[in-house]
Amino acid sequence: MTEPTRYADRPEWSDVLPVEQYENANPLAPIFYTNEYKDATNYFRGIIKTGEKSQRVLELTEHIIRLNPAHYTAWQYRYETLLAIDSNLEDELQLMDELAITHLKTYQVWHHRRLLMLKIRKPAAELVFIAKTFKVDAKNYHTWSYRQWLLAYFNDDELWGGELDFVEDLLYADIRNNSAWHHRFFTVFQSGVHDGEENRERVLKRELIYVKQSISLVPNNASAWNYIRGILEHHSIPYSRVTTFVQPYTLSMDEQTADLVDLDNPPPSKGAHLPCAFAIEFFADIYEAEGGDSMLKATELWKSLGNEYDIARKKYWEHRIREGLRAIQT
């Protein structure tokens, strides 16, 4: 690839006075810029000095952004220029589609999209675009945060309508994708009541069955256990409501007794790695909440976690035992 012609050698830029970056004699962590970056930013500083906002400024800022997508001043000036010259923002968004995939982890890429969307106001297509980026990285924090912002900001029932299916696809691909579980919680419980979700009892029941079935397929999944805890706490339902469901997961495979198919309490699937430490922890929490004699049962479970099933967190389980015993003494 040949280097692009320097701005200094391009007649159409000859009217701009480039401004070299000032640096003192002994700078901290200087960057050894490429000549291309130096040339482009010299002209950018020159442009800022005159305040020019024009088509060629869009070319220049795009060039800088491609060299350094974290250059927030180039983004800021680009956005101001787009507005000043009444540029077509949908074209800009299209250009951003490419840049977003290349620089998925750069905050500025997503911030710029957010500013564009505030003007364009067509969030539905954005949701489709975001879904595409998840094929590259389904846990990208910026992308998720942008999606959550879009939904909350535009808050339109048509937008929300597809979210549950969207999450289910992602969880089907990776049942341990915590970002998807989080998004499910946000969609169902923390963003108001959407169309078709008015019967909250039914929604609660549906979500409990969904997460139980997920645990039944893959019991050792922290995300699913956090989700079931989250649902119960959100509704102020005691954990003991799901005792029947949780208990089999605290036992070994040989100790399983379930022979009926109980839809409310799906049993561990064959081949599951049991007992499941998350279930033991959950069960201990049920005993702890009961207090009294049950606290001793809880401490037995914490002991088994510290000594056998979750040794890496031994100090934590010992702490829980101390706290539990202190609670029954007072």
Partner 1 sequence: MSGSPSLLTTLENHYLPPLARVAHAGHVKRCLSGLPSSQVDLDPGRMAVAFYCLGSLDLLKMVQEKISQTDRESWREWIWEQQTRGKYGSGFRPSPFMAGSMLSEGARYTDYDMPHIIMTYTALLTLAILRDDFSRLDKQGILSFLKACQREDGSFSTVPGSGETDLRTLYCAFVISHLLNDWSGVDADGALSFIASCRSYEGGYGQSAHCEANGGTTYIAMAAIHLAPVTSNPLSPSEIRKTIEWAVHKQHQSGGFCGRTNKLADACYCFWIAGSLKILGAGDLVNSRSLAVFLSSCQFKFGGISKAPGEHPDPYHTYLSLAALSMFPPPLYDNDTNSSSWAFEPLDPLINARKETAEWARSHIAIKE
Q: For residues 221 and 238, what is the distance between their CA atoms, to the nearest angstrom?
A: 21
**Which CB sits closer to partner 1, 77 or 245?**
77
What minimum distance in Å lies between the beta carbon of 30 and partner 1?
Answer: 5
State how far the Cα of 330 lies from the Cα of 325, in Å rounded to an integer: 9
Do 248 and 198 touch, CB atoms closer than 8 A? no
d(Cα 50, Cα 46) in Å, to the nearest integer?
7
Cα–Cα distances (Å) from 189 to 69, 139, 164, 181, 204, in that order, read: 36, 21, 12, 12, 9
Closest C-alpha among 125, 115, 195, 196 to residue 155: 195
Task: Return the structure tokens found at 81.
Answer: 């220029």
Residue closer to partner 1 by CB (options 129, 149) is 149
**From the CB of 261, what's the least distance to partner 1, in Å?**
27
Output the smallest distance, CB 241 to partner 1, in A: 17
- The single residue of 38, 49, 53, 105 carrying the catalytic annotation is 105
Classify 304 in phi/psi space as left (phi over 0), alpha (psi -120 to 50) or beta.
Answer: alpha
What is the C-alpha to C-alpha distance for residues 141 and 149, in angstroms, rounded to an integer?
12
Please report how close the Cβ of residue 243 comes to partner 1 at its closest, in angstroms. Answer: 20
Q: Determine if residue 140 is left, alpha or beta; phi over 0 gives left, psi from -120 to 50 gives alpha, anything else beta.
A: beta
CB of 27 to partner 1, least distance (A): 5
Which residue, 142 or 259, is less far from partner 1 as judged by CB? 142
Q: How far apart are CA 190 and CA 296, in angstroms?
A: 36
Instruction: Write down the least CB distance from residue 208 to partner 1, Å.
Output: 15
CA distances to 9, 69, 140, 208, 289 from 241, in Å: 75, 51, 35, 11, 12
Output 109 or 266, the one with its CB closest to partner 1: 109
- Pick 183 or 212: Cβ nearer partner 1: 183
Enumerate residues 6+ apart whose C-beta is below 8 A from 57: 47, 77, 78, 81
Residue number, 84 or 262, with CB nearest to partner 1: 84
Please say if 205 is a catalytic residue. no
Residues carrying an active site annotation: 105
